[in-house]
């Protein structure tokens, strides 16, 4: 992982603030230098305990968590954070098989990047997550209503009455794809994205998580329905 040639604009107070949590001191130093050189404010922590202290003291726009840490793992930390915060989370791990990726997504993480990685790819992932998280400022697209919910396609915002329902980036992207064609079957391949291999259960995991947020009985879904062998459809109000 090389950061040679990185430009060095000085981060401003308005720049996104990232927390990097990794037990490898070399990786922490490299990422801090590289991401600060790209204009981000960067704070680092060596383990979950130090990360918790930083989270109690500072506000962050995105967390980058290593999965394999001594003591409390990144997955356990992500679960605890997600129980009380909507801050976007990107997981880093040396374990890259599908089951590990699914476990990461099930914690509520927004994205998952296997090690070793090119810092430029991490930069793209971070900017993509922050861009989608900032989509709430958009106002040009109409709402799609289903059950007691309203999904604003331009803002990527889901509400139940006046209450905003927190969505991960994956949940928001999947719901947006379904809301573009309400009542129609959207193939799994269209929901999976280019980086998901055939047979990967990641789409099903995100559907299950989304159902827990919008269905009265997630085991008997009425709004987000499975079309066996094809994909999924969202039953919107007329």
Q: Which of 114, 135, 156 finishes a domain?
A: 135
pLDDT at residue number 13 = 59
Q: Which of 105, 135, 165 finishes a domain?
A: 135
pLDDT at residue number 70 = 86
Phi and psi, residue 130, nearest 5°: -65, -35
CB 11 within 8 A of CB 36: yes
pLDDT at residue number 207 = 94
| Residue 187 located in a structural domain | yes
Q: What are the structure tokens assigned to 188, written together?
A: 């799994």
| Residue 6 located in a structural domain | no
Q: Domain check: are 101 and 179 in the same one?
A: no
Q: Domain check: are 21 and 130 in the same one?
A: yes
Q: Domain check: are 51 and 154 in the same one?
A: no
pLDDT at residue number 167 = 92
pLDDT at residue number 58 = 87
The one-character DSSP state at 166 is P
* 4 Cβ contact list (under 8 Å, min separation 6): none
Q: Domain check: are 129 and 228 in the same one?
A: no
Q: Domain check: are 149 and 123 in the same one?
A: no
Instruction: Report the helix count and the strand count for the chain, using DSSP H and E.
Output: 8, 12
Q: Give me the CATH number covering residue 46.
A: 3.40.50.2300
CA–CA separation, 7 and 105 (whole Å):
32
CA–CA separation, 31 and 71 (whole Å):
22
Q: Give me the CATH number covering residue 195.
A: 1.10.10.10
Q: Domain check: are 165 and 129 in the same one?
A: no
CA–CA separation, 141 and 144 (whole Å):
10
Q: Domain check: are 88 and 161 in the same one?
A: no
Q: Domain check: are 37 and 126 in the same one?
A: yes
Q: Which of 116, 135, 154 finishes a domain?
A: 135
| Residue 52 located in a structural domain | yes
Q: Domain check: are 36 and 105 in the same one?
A: yes
pLDDT at residue number 140 = 41
Q: Domain check: are 123 and 145 in the same one?
A: no
CA–CA separation, 173 and 203 (whole Å):
11
Q: Domain check: are 190 and 163 in the same one?
A: yes
pLDDT at residue number 94 = 75
Q: What is the model's pTM? A: 0.58
Residue 103 belongs to domain spanning: 17-135
pLDDT at residue number 6 = 43
Domain count, the chain: 2
Angle at 228 between CA 196 and CA 179, to 5 degrees: 65
pLDDT at residue number 134 = 64
pLDDT at residue number 139 = 37
Compute how many other C-beta atoms are within 10 angstroms of the C-beta atom of residue 10: 8
CB 144 within 8 A of CB 179: yes
From the list 66, 55, 62, 127, the residue with the least C-alpha distance to 91 is 66
pLDDT in tens, the chain (238 residues): 555 444 455 565 568 899 999 999 999 999 999 999 999 999 999 999 999 999 888 889 899 999 888 889 888 999 888 888 878 999 988 766 666 677 777 778 888 888 888 999 999 999 888 887 765 434 344 789 999 999 987 778 899 988 999 999 889 989 988 988 888 888 877 787 655 545 567 888 999 999 999 999 999 999 999 988 888 999 988 6
């Amino acid at each position: 992982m090389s950061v040679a040639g990185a430009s060095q604009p000085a981060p401003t107070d308005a720049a996104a603030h990232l927390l990097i949590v990794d037990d490898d001191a070399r990786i922490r130093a490299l990422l801090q230098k590289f991401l600060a050189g790209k204009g981000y404010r960067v704070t680092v922590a060596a383990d979950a305990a130090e990360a918790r202290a930083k989270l109690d003291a500072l506000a962050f726009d995105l967390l980058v968590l290593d999965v394999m840490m001594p003591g409390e793992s990144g997955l356990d930390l992500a679960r605890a954070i997600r129980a009380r915060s909507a801050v976007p989370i990107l997981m880093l791990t040396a374990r890259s098989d599908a089951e590990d990726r699914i476990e990461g997504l099930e914690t509520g993480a927004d994205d998952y990047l296997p090690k070793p990685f090119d810092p430029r790819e991490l930069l793209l992932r971070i900017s993509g997550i922050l861009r989608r998280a900032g989509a709430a400022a958009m106002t040009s697209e109409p709402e799609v209503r289903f059950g007691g919910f309203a999904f604003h396609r331009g803002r990527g915002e889901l509400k139940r009455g006046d209450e905003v329902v927190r969505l991960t980036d994956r949940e928001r992207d999947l719901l947006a794809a379904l809301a573009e064609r309400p009542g129609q079957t959207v193939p799994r391949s269209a929901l999976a994205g280019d980086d998901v291999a055939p047979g990967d259960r990641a789409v099903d995991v995100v559907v299950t998580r989304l159902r827990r947020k919008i269905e009265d009985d997630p085991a008997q879904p009425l709004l987000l329905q499975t079309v066996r062998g094809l994909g999924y459809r969202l039953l919107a109000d007329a």
